Structure 1
Amino acid sequence: MKSPFLTMIAEQMYLKRYAKSTIKAYLYWIAAFIRFNSMRHPTTMGNNEVELFLNHLVNQLNIAPNTQTQALNALSFLFKEVINKPLSLSLDFVMSKRATKLPVVLTQQEINHFFKVCSAKHYLPCGLLYGSGMRLMEVLRLRVQDIDFDYNCIRI
C-alpha cells in the first residue's frame, strides 16, 4: 500500500494531467529517494541529499543517462511542485555517460569464410550490403528498375 504522501503526489500529478506512465515513474523515483535517505520526509531534505542520491545511482547502480535524467526530473517535480522548495540550478553530481560502442570489424578471412557458407539466395543481398554500404531496407526494396545497366550503378 502506498503512503499517504505518495498518494497525495499522484493525485496532484493527475490534476496536472500527467501521463500515467510518467506518474508511475516519478512515484518510483521519489520512493527510491526516500528509501535511500532512511525514510526521512523530503521536506527535511534538500540539494545535498539529491546530489548524494544521483551520485549513488551512477556510481553504485551504473544507470543509463536517460534513467538518471528521469530520476532528476522526478525529484525536481517533488521539490518544486509539492514541497515548494525548488532545487538549486547548480547541483553538483556525476552525470551518467553512455558507454562508447566500438564497431565490430571482420577480417578479410572472416569475410571470405562468410561468403563461402552463405546460401545462394542470400549471396547477392549480403554482397550488396557488404560491398556497397547500402542499408538493409534499401537492399530489400531494390527492384530491377533501380539498376542502371548503362552506367553499372544502382539508384536508391
Structure 2
Amino acid sequence: MDDIRPPVAQGSTRFLDELRLHIRQNGLAYRTEQTYLFWIKNFIRFHSRQHPKHLGSHEIEAFLSHLAEQRNCSVSTQRIALNALVYMYKRFMGVDVGDLRFSPAPAPKRLPVVYSREEIAAILSHLRGVHRLQVELMYGTGLRKAELLSLRVKDIDFGSNNIFVRGGKGDKDRTTMLPQRLKSRLIQQIGHVKRLHAQDLLDGYGEVYLPNALSKKYPSAATDIAWQFLFPSTTIGKDPRSGTLRRHHLHPSALSKQIRKAVQAAGINKPAKSHSLRHSFATHLLGPVHTNLAVAVMSKKSPIEERIARFGGPK
C-alpha cells in the first residue's frame, strides 16, 4: 500500500511535516509529494543538514550544478529537483529565489519506445491470466500503469463503453474507450472481484481504501463492491494511514516484472517498459502514415515544461 499517504502527526512543528501538509493542502499528487521530499532531503544533506531557511539561491545553484557535473544526472532529473526546491522556497516558505544560474545537465533528444503490432502480439503470447488482461487494457486504452491499478469496479461502464480514470496525471479525471473485445474478460474479472470481496467480508475484512475524505462522507462505500479495486491484491495488508487490515490493488512491481519477462521471452530488443504500451497505443491509433506525428505528440512538452527546461523555474 505504498501509494497511500501516511498520516502526519497533529500539531507537528517539524519542517518536513509542515511541508507535507502544505503539499497536501495544495492538492498535489502523492507521487509528487514523495518526489519533492526526496530531492529536498537530498538538498539538505548536501549542505550538511542545514535548515533551508539558512540557505538560498547560491546553495540551490551549487546543488543543481552538482547533480549535472558530479552525479551526471539527466536534464529531466535536474528539472525535477529544481521544481521541488522552487516549490519549497517560493510556495511554502514565500522566498523568491530569483533567476538561478547553474550548470545545466545535457539534454539528449530521445524518441519514446514504441512496439510494433507484431511485437505487441508476441508480448501478449507470453502472458497469462490477469497480467495479460492488464497489458491488453494498457495497450487498448492508453492507460498509465498507476491509472490501471487504481481502477475500481465502478469505473468500468459497459453501457457507454467507457473507462473512467479518476485522479490521473495532474490529479485530473478523464474517460477512455472500452475495447469491445475485452468486455467478456472484464466481466469475468469483476465476477472474480465479487467472489473475493464476499469472502473477505465473511473473514472480517472487506473495507477498501477510499481517497481523500470519502470514507467520512460515505461511511458504507468502503464495503460496497463498486468501490473495490478491479485488480485486487492477492494478500491482505495494513493500511499505513489507519492501521486497518484490508485488501489493496496489485503492486505495480508485479506487473512490471511480468512485462519484462514477456518482452525478453518474445526476443524483443527494446526496453521493457509499461509506458511503452501507452506510446504504442497512440502510434497505432493514428496509423502508420502518422507515426511521426504520434511520436511528436507523445514527446511534446507542455508550455510550462518548456519554460522549466530553460531553467527559469515556475513564474
Structure number with larger C-alpha Rg: 1
**Cα distance change, pair 14–140 in 1 and its aligned pair in 2 (3 A):** closer
Runs of at least 4 residues of structure 1 off by over 4 A?
Answer: 138-141
Residue 98 of structure 1 is matched in structure 2 by: 107
Residue 63 of structure 1 is matched in structure 2 by: 73
Q: Aligned residues: percent identity?
A: 32
Amino acid corresponding to residue 107 of structure 2 in structure 1: R
CA apart distance, 1:98: 3.0
TM-score norm. by structure 2 comes to: 0.31
Distance 1:18 1:6 in 2: 15
TM-score norm. by structure 1 comes to: 0.61
- Is 1:137 matched up with 2:117? yes
How big is each residue's C-alpha offset from its partner over 1:110-151, in whole Å with a ceiling of 9 and x where there is no partner?
A: xxxxxxxxxxxxxxxxxxxxxxxxx9438999xxxxxxxxxx
**Cα distance change, pair 137–86 in 1 and its aligned pair in 2 (3 A):** same
- Is 1:5 matched up with 2:15? yes
Structure with a larger share of its residues in helix: 1
Distance 1:137 1:51 in 2: 46
User: How much is the aligned-residue C-alpha RMSD, in angstroms?
Assistant: 2.8
CA apart distance, 1:60: 0.7
Amino acid corresponding to residue 14 of structure 1 in structure 2: R
Amino acid corresponding to residue 97 of structure 1 in structure 2: P
Distance 2:37 2:18 in 1: 11
Candidates 30, 39, 46, aligned match of 1:36: 46
Distance 2:84 2:20 in 1: 12
Q: How does 1:77-88 map to 2 (within 5 A)?
A: 77-88=87-98
Distance 2:55 2:119 in 1: 57
Amino acid corresponding to residue 98 of structure 1 in structure 2: A
- Is 1:47 matched up with 2:57? yes
Distance 1:24 1:140 in 2: 33
How many residues align structurally?
108
Distance 1:94 1:64 in 2: 12
How big is each residue's C-alpha offset from its partner over 1:79-108, in whole Å with a ceiling of 9 and x where there is no partner?
A: 1112211211x211011113477xxxxxxx
Residue 75 of structure 1 is matched in structure 2 by: 85
Amino acid corresponding to residue 137 of structure 1 in structure 2: R
Q: Which runs of 5+ in 2 are unaligned?
A: 1-7, 122-287, 290-315
Residue 37 of structure 2 is matched in structure 1 by: 27
Distance 1:28 1:139 in 2: 36
SS of match in other structure, 2:106:
coil
Q: Which has the higher contact order (CA 8 A, sep 6+)?
A: 2
